[in-house]
Each structure stands twice: as structure tokens, then as C-alpha cells.
């Protein structure tokens, strides 16, 4: 088996789906865009959670920070932010096309940088916490951020901010944001794939297996953890900025820092597919998104209960995930398979 060729095929398949999907099913453009967001969330969570063994429950923090950084940057370019937010949407600021798009690009980039900077700041304080303390500490950071922003009048507090309105016709905005999510998710996967092939990936795995020993072997563990976390934060921040612009209205508790919903879903997605593998979180995210949409359609009112049940069953009874299970069953196809049928085929080929 050639690992590089195999990953290349999956990448090609994902890119083909990403381009063809919205062309063939234009009505589902938004759904597929959200699927890319889910893939991005699960895969970036897996950098620290799966590869380095630092199970964060607060990665959604970066998503919300990115959203707010981009909002402040985009509105602040042409208007006074405090005056805009205190009017609660009564002031409609007209953005020219150039202003809107430069603001959007600048906002997304600043969101990534801002989230990364905060991840390093928080990383220094929370990375000394190990195991469950780290999980609770990161959960605390994400919860606190949502609550603090709810009380911060400058960004509209609990009332939220209306984002600049996309210029041009209605259909064009969904295509633009789809393209942004698609490119972001694919580039994040590419960066993760590249990182895991380098010494950096090995260092993260060494930290996961035994942090004290890794330190004794001369690995500067704190530096690796900070870099890993800031990469995840960079992509999450940009994703938050794009999501905020796509939704058009941001609010601290439900949209920007949904710690008890999407913050835990990303962990569940990575676990469902199999954490610590490149394609596991992708597979888990796709499955979870499909199940989520199905429960939304057929179990309306009970959808959150159904999702909570899925998470509990997944964690308690099937923790290794789909790819983890496949890896245990067919170790020679170590973490390379997306579906288990292909794993069986590989075993037959090997015999």
C-alpha cells in the first residue's frame, strides 16, 4: 500500500465532491457548506485531541473569537463600532462592493491571526494542566468568553451584532461562502496531512504517548503544543469569521460560543470517525452532519435529545470510532481506509 497515493485519491475525491456537490444539488449548497465547517472543526480538534492527547472541550472559543474579531474589523473599517452596536441594527451602514470585500478578506485573515494569538496566550496558562483538568479548563475558558462578551457593551453584549449585508443578488452570497468554507477545509486538511508527515507529527504523538518521557528525550513539549494549538485556532478563527458573515447576525451564547452544542459535537465527530487518524474526523463529521440533518427533519423537537443520545452511545460503547475499529481489525491497512469494505479488499490483496 502506498500511503501518499492513497491520501491523494481521497483528497481528489473530496475536491471533486466539493466542486460537483453544489453544482448537482444547488438547493443543498448551505448544507454542504456546513458539512465542510464540520469537517474543519473535527479535523482541527484532532490535531491536539487525537494526535497530542490533549482533549480540549473549548476549541469553540477560537470560533467565537474569530467571529467577533472579523465583525469588529469589518464594521470598524467604515463606522464607529460602539455607535453601531448600541443602535442594535437601527443604523444600516451601506458598504460599497470594494469596501465589503476588502473588509471580508481582512476580517477573515485578522480572525485567524487573532485566534492564534489568543491560543498562545491561553496555551501558556492551560497547558500545564493535564488530562481532565485541561478539558475542564478549556471548557471554562470557552464558557467564560461567551459570558464575558454577553456583558460587553462595545460589541453589543447579549444583543449581538448584525454583520454587513452581502452586496449583490441573494443567490451569490451562498456560493461565495460555500467556496470559502470549501477552500478553508481542504487547505486545513492539506496542512494537517503535511504536518503529520513531518517530525512535528511525531513529536505530538510522543507527547500523547508519554509527555514526561518526551520531555526527557529533549522534545520542547510546550512549544510543540502551542504550535499545534495555534494552527487549530488559526483555522477555527477563520471558519468563525466566514460563518459569522454567512449567518449575517452574531450573538455570543448561541452563535459564537455554542460550547454545549458545537463545542462538544466536534469532539463527538472526531471520536465517531476515530481520533488520532487523518481521515477519521472527516468521516465522522460527514456521518454526524448527515445524522444531524436527518434528526432535524424527522425528529423535530427531539433533535437535541437524539444527538445527545448518539454522543453518549458513541463514547460509552464505541469509543475507538469507525477508523479505530478498522485499524484494530486490519492493522496492515493502518489508518488509511475511509470505509471498512476497502479495508477488507486490502487484506485480500495482501494475502
Partner 1 sequence: MLDNIQVLIVAPVFAVDLLLQGLFIGAIFALAAYGLALVWGVMNVKNLCQGDFVIMGGYIAFTMSWFDIHPIIALPVAFVLMFAFGWIVYLLIIKRVVDRDMFTSLLATFGLSLLIQQVLQLIFGPEVQTTDAGFDSIVLADSMIILPWARIISLILASVLALGIIVFMKYSRMGRAIRATAQDPRAARVLGVDTNLVYAFTYALNAAICGAAGVLVAMIWVIQPYYGIVHSIRAFVIVTAAGLGNLPGVIAAGFGLGIAEKYADFVFGAEFAVAAVVSMLIIVLVYRQLQLYRLRQVVR
Binding status of residue 312 toward partner 1 by CB under 8 A: yes
Question: Which residue from 55, 230, 245, 277 is in contact with partner 1, where contact means CB under 8 A?
Answer: 55
| Window 123 to 152, contacts with partner 1 (CB under 8 A) | 125-126, 128-129, 131-133, 135-137, 140-141, 143-144, 147-148, 150-151
Give the dihedral sign, CA 302/45/119/35: negative
According to DSSP, the β-strands at 249-250 and 161-162 are antiparallel
181, 236 Cβ separation under 8 angstroms: no
What distance in Å separates the CA atoms of residue 322 and residue 272, rounded to the nearest whole number?
6
Binding status of residue 255 toward partner 1 by CB under 8 A: no
- Identify the H or E element spanning 161: strand 161-162
Backbone angles phi, psi at 131, to 5 degrees: 55, -130
Per-residue cell: 154: 462595545
Question: Which residue from 268, 286, 322, 326 is in contact with partner 1, where contact means CB under 8 A?
Answer: 268
Question: Closest separation between CB of residue 311 and partner 1, Å?
Answer: 4
**Nearest residue (CB) to partner 1, 9 versus 220:** 220
DSSP state, 309? H
Q: Is 335 left (phi over 0), alpha (psi -120 to 50) or beta?
A: left
Question: Which residue from 13, 96, 319, 331 is in contact with partner 1, where contact means CB under 8 A?
Answer: 319
**Nearest residue (CB) to partner 1, 90 versus 317:** 317
Question: Closest separation between CB of residue 148 and partner 1, Å?
Answer: 5
Provide the binding-site residues for partner 1, judged by CB under 8 A: 55, 57, 125-126, 128-129, 131-133, 135-137, 140-141, 143-144, 147-148, 150-151, 157-158, 260-261, 264, 267-268, 271, 301-302, 304-305, 307-309, 311-312, 315-317, 319
Amino acid at each position: 500500500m502506498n500511503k501518499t497515493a492513497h491520501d491523494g485519491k481521497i483528497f481528489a475525491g473530496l475536491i471533486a465532491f466539493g466542486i460537483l456537490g453544489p453544482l448537482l444539488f444547488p438547493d443543498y449548497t448551505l448544507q454542504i457548506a456546513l458539512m465542510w465547517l464540520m469537517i474543519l472543526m473535527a479535523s482541527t480538534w484532532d490535531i491536539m485531541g487525537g494526535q497530542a492527547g490533549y482533549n480540549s472541550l473549548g476549541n469553540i472559543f477560537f470560533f467565537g473569537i474569530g467571529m467577533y474579531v472579523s465583525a469588529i474589523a469589518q464594521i470598524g473599517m467604515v463606522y464607529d463600532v460602539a455607535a453601531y452596536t448600541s443602535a442594535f441594527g437601527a443604523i444600516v451602514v451601506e458598504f460599497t462592493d470594494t469596501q465589503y470585500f476588502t473588509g471580508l478578506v481582512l476580517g477573515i485573515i485578522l480572525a485567524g491571526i487573532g485566534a492564534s494569538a489568543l491560543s498562545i496566550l491561553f496555551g501558556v496558562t492551560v497547558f500545564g494542566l493535564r488530562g481532565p483538568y485541561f478539558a475542564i479548563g478549556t471548557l471554562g475558558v470557552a464558557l467564560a468568553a461567551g459570558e464575558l462578551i454577553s456583558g460587553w457593551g462595545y460589541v453589543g453584549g447579549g444583543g449581538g451584532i448584525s454583520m454587513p449585508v452581502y452586496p449583490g443578488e441573494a443567490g451569490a452570497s451562498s456560493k461565495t461562502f460555500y467556496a470559502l468554507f470549501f477552500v478553508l477545509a481542504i487547505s486545513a486538511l492539506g496542512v494537517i496531512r503535511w504536518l503529520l508527515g513531518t517530525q512535528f507529527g511525531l513529536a505530538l504523538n510522543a507527547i500523547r504517548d508519554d509527555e514526561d518521557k518526551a520531555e526527557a528525550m529533549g522534545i520542547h513539549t510546550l512549544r510543540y503544543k502551542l504550535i499545534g494549538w495555534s494552527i487549530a485556532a488559526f483555522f477555527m478563527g477563520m471558519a468563525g469569521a466566514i460563518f459569522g458573515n454567512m449567518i449575517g447576525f452574531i450573538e455570543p451564547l448561541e452563535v459564537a460560543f455554542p460550547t454545549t452544542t458545537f463545542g462538544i459535537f466536534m469532539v463527538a465527530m472526531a471520536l465517531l470517525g476515530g481520533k488520532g487518524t487523518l481521515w477519521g474526523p472527516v468521516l465522522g463529521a460527514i456521518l454526524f452532519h448527515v445524522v444531524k440533518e436527518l434528526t432535524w427533519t424527522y425528529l423535530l423537537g427531539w433533535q437535541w435529545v437524539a444527538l445527545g443520545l448518539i454522543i453518549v452511545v458513541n463514547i460509552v460503547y464505541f469509543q475507538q470510532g469507525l477508523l479505530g475499529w478498522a485499524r484494530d481489525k486490519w492493522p496492515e491497512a493502518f489508518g488509511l481506509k475511509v470505509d471498512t469494505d476497502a479495508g477488507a479488499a486490502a487484506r485480500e490483496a495482501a494475502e
